[in-house]
Amino acid sequence: MRFWDSSAIVPILLTEATTERARASWAEDRSMAVWWGTSIECVAAFARAEREGRLEPDGLATASRDLEAIQQDWAVIDPAPPVRLVAERLVRTHPLRAGDALQLAAAIAAAEGAPATMPFVTLDDRLAIAAVREGFPVIRFDEP
């Protein structure tokens, strides 16, 4: 199982420069752990792509259906008090936005406090640096 940031999930569902590598990485291990806000972040990315003209309206519907399909296999980390406390520590320790801190805290919970045991998949530079500093092996497919 890997922990997936929404920045790495979106290219699985929308055609982007990293789509081929994202799908290949997902094919290696389809077990995804995510934070509870991941679906919201993905839908926001779809809507932004539509507003910017990078996605047709029917593409938005398709991406949303595909998101619903892959959500069936997600292990979702809920916003429990221990996750909140870890996120509070993370925003003091790393230059993270609140959502990214919650996401990283959820990854720590998913890894049961042993980050070295769970790969963290992200395209977000700041989140990747914080994840490495917290002990996660980070998978990036946006770099050559």
pLDDT-derived band at 144, boundaries 50, 70, 90: low
Task: Look up the CATH number of the domain holding residue 47.
Answer: 3.40.50.1010
Three-state SS at 74:
strand
Domains held by the chain: number = 1
User: Is 30 among the domain residues?
Assistant: yes
Q: Alpha-carbon distance 22 to 46, whole Å? A: 16
Mean pLDDT confidence for 31-37: 95
User: Is 144 among the domain residues?
Assistant: no
Domain residues for the domain of 32 are 2-139
Instruction: Note the pLDDT tens digit of each residue in 95-120.
Output: 999 999 999 999 999 999 899 999 99
Q: Alpha-carbon distance 66 to 49, whole Å? A: 16
| Predicted pLDDT of residue 141 | 83
81 residue type, one letter: P
User: Is 124 among the domain residues?
Assistant: yes
